[in-house]
Structure 1
Amino acid sequence: MAYLSAMKIFQDLSQEELKELERSISMVSCPAGRVFYVPGETGEVLFLLKKGRVQLYRLSPDGRKLTVKILEPMTFFGEMGILGQGMHDTFAEAMDDCLICVMSRRDVQHLLLSKPTVAMRICEEMAARLMERERQLEEVVFKGVLPRLAGLLLRLAGETDQVSGYSHQELGEMLGVYRETVTHALDQLKAMGLVEIHRKRIKLLHRDKLADIAKQ
């Protein structure tokens, strides 16, 4: 039950309410590469991510991935399939081996009607994701690859000085560019003395200078 209380959307629930919620949830293990849903598919469940990472993405006409969001543990996905339009608008794929908790449409609807604070938290997260998409679109239109990559590295690193667990291909999918383009841009940042590049790990050497590039 501790994992439920760690999820922001359930943080206002009491211990008794969390116990009741847990009884309506089933947990499954999913291997990396598992596709949970595709665009246009009707949603019947809400997914709660307990362990692993999940990539939400769209496909271009030529089959390239454009990452909408990388989900970390203790969040949810699949809400568009059971709320609003009733259909999913992205692909959702496990990047790692994942532990997923599943709630049925009926149980979710009952929860939202009986616990308005949960509905509010879900709306807050949906609004934040919409703002993130708008930022992505703005950057694609107005910024070059190097500033976008610098900004992405800073966001992925958070308060740390390194980005771990992402291949050049995955970074490219997050920026909507080819892997080779990311590799070239990383080499530029390395030549400027701003990053060190290792296998699936990038060390940020000068956050302030990367921030300046991200603003260009």
Structure 2
Amino acid sequence: MSEKARLKRGQVLYRDGEPSKLFYRCETGLLRVVKVTTRGRPITVRHILPGDFFGEEILEAKPYQHSVEALTRSTITSFQIDELSEHLMRQVAVSFSDQLRRAMLHEYHLQIGDLRERVIRYLLELVDTPLGGENEDNDLYLRCTHELIAEGTSSTRESVSKIIMDLKQEGLIETGYRQITLKNLDVMKVMARPPMVQEVQ
């Protein structure tokens, strides 16, 4: 029988190498799929948004190939493998098609432009997830750390911190504890070029 569970921010649901026992769907919040490099550096492989299925290794009876961590308070539903009806599998297929598209777009962004452009693109990507929000001045913001941005842009925390400081000095963003506010969205979209979703189908 499927069961719902709540995850705290920073909680790891399962780790790379653990036996796959359940299949999951994210109901609320934001999670990320993480792989650790041979040098011990975590890399964000993809984000898991509400409606996304994950834990696909169980479909092949393989151990989990990545770790999954909650970036916000999240709610998930777990399924036993024998609960995956034909109707549910159709939903799974649509979900993984969408996740593949997003993962390919994310990988494209990592390969194009310098680190400054990659950081700006990642900020624009994250602001449209449950990490993002809108304040009373109608400015978009996101709750994240420099370390999270570094792991999502295949960079280092020190390099990201310098770019964040430069963007702040240029008046493009404001920073607070675990929060970045985007003050000039139109300029940042131009700086993030090559263009994003609309030109990468």
Cα deviation digits, residues 122-159 of structure 1 (max 9, x gap)? 22221222222222322222221111111111222238
- The answer on 1:166 being equivalent to 2:136 is no
**Superposed CA offset, 1:71-126 (max 9, x none):** 34444321x22335745332112334544321101112xx1x2x2xx323322221
CA distance in 1 between partners of 2:28 and 2:94 (Å): 22
Q: Does 1:91 align with 2:67?
A: yes
Structure 1: distance between partners of 2:82 and 2:30:
26
Query: How many percent of aligned residue pairs carry the same amino acid?
Result: 21
Where structure 1 has 5 or more consecutive residues not aligned to the other structure, the ranges are 1-23
Give the partner amino acid of 2:150: G
Distance 1:52 1:141, change over 3 A: closer
Q: TM-score, normalised by structure 2?
A: 0.79
Tell me what 1:71 maps to.
48
Q: Is the 8 A contact 2:112 2:118 kept in 1?
A: no
CA contact (8 A) 1:153 1:163 kept: no
Following the alignment from structure 1 to structure 2, what is the Cα–Cα distance between the partners of residues 154 and 164?
9
Unaligned runs of 5+ in 2: 195-201
Task: Tell whether 2:153 aligns with 1:183.
Answer: no
| Cα drift, residue 190 of structure 1 | 1.3
Letter in 2 for 1:124: V
2: CA distance, partners of 1:97 / 1:215: 32
State the match for 1:105 in structure 2.
81
Q: Write the letter of the residue equivalent to 2:170.
A: M
Mapped partners of 1:45, 1:55: distance in 2:
17
Q: Compared with structure 1, are the counterparts of its residues 186 and 100 closer, same or farther at alpha carbon in structure 2 (3 Å cutoff)?
A: same
Counterpart CA distance in 1 for 2:161 and 2:11 is 27
* Residue 142, structure 1, aligned to residue 142, structure 2: no
Classify the secondary structure of the residue corresponding to 1:166.
coil
Aligned length: 186
The yes-or-no answer on 1:200 pairing with 2:178 is yes
Partner SS state of residue 59, structure 2: coil
Aligned AA (2:93): C
Cα distance change on mapping 1:138 and 1:75 into 2, 3 Å: closer
Which residue in the other structure is 1:61 paired with? 38
Structure of larger gyration radius: 1
Q: 1:192 to 1:31 in 2, by over 3 A?
A: closer
Q: 1:211 to 1:31 in 2, by over 3 A?
A: closer
**Any residues of structure 2 matched to 1:35-50 within 5 Å, and which?**
35-50=12-27
Q: CA RMSD in A?
A: 2.4
Change (3 A) 1:197 1:33: closer
